[in-house]
Amino acid sequence: MEGADTTEPRKAVCILDDPESIRLLADYTRAEIMRLLSKYPMTETQLSDQLGLTKAAVGYHLHLLKDVGLISIDRVEAEEHGILQKFYVPIAALLIVDPVYIPKDVQKYFIRTQIEHLRGMFSVFQLYHHVSEVSSQTLEKLALAMLKQLKIVGQKHVKDPARGDAESFRVKIYAEALANLTKQEEWHSVFQERA
């Protein structure tokens, strides 16, 4: 029944290998909806307020995400005027895209997102002289390698229930994936300490 609370605990990680689901996440608004929902269940109205979009626009994105199974209804509550409000949640605290199944037309979106994450990490590393100079080409290759490592690390947690703060969990997974990359011979020159 649609109005019932979900009884199955939310997963910690879901590895996405469906190209259509992956394609849907290659959109800033939908990615931001997923990030917001990972914090706590939210209604269409709450998301509309947070995103500065109309309820109709948010509803459109929620419909797409629900149709492919990336979100579900956590619960339904009646407002004081009797209007039912659906609270949405993602199917997992962290959705990891399997790089093998990323459609070519949206691959650049996911590479760019990883490059942004890596830029932040490398900024800190350079501040403390723990990394050499990184070219644009190297950063792009490293972004693809990071997507692969995220899948490998995420696979260890696909059966775990979601616990605690989703952002802390995300940082933990990224840190482990990055640690794995630093151990790979191919990337030793990038992660060696500068003199």
Identify the sign of the CA torsion 21, 72, 112, 170. Answer: negative
Nearest Cα to Cα of residue 96 among 29, 38, 9, 183: 38
Round to whole Å and give the CA distance between 78 and 46: 15
Looking at domain 7-189, its CATH architecture is Orthogonal Bundle (1.10)
Q: Is the pLDDT of residue 195 over 60?
A: no
**What average pLDDT score do residues 82-100 get?**
95
pLDDT at 4: 39
Query: Which amino acid type is present at position 75?
Result: R
Radius of gyration over every alpha carbon of the chain, rounded to an integer in angstroms: 19
Q: Where are the beta strands (DSSP E) in 18-173?
A: 71-78, 84-90, 92-97
Which pLDDT belongs to residue 85? Answer: 94
- 166 vs 65, residue with greater confidence: 65
- Alpha-carbon distance 40 to 141, whole Å? 34
Strand partners, 14: 95
pLDDT in tens, 98-146: 999 999 999 999 999 999 999 888 888 777 766 667 788 989 999 999 9
What are the pLDDT digits (tens) for 30-78? 999 999 999 999 999 999 999 999 999 999 999 999 999 999 999 999 9
At residue 2, does pLDDT exceed 90? no
Measured distance CA(162)–CA(9) in Å, rounded: 7
Q: Tell me, what amino acid is at 6?
A: T
6-15, 39-48, 167-176, 179-188: the lowest-pLDDT one = 6-15
Closest Cα partner for 135 from 119, 117, 111? Answer: 119
Angle, helices 136-155/166-183, rounded to nearest 10 degrees? 120
Asked whether the predicted pLDDT for residue 178 surpasses 60, the reply is yes
Domain assignments of the chain as residue spans, ordered by start: 7-189
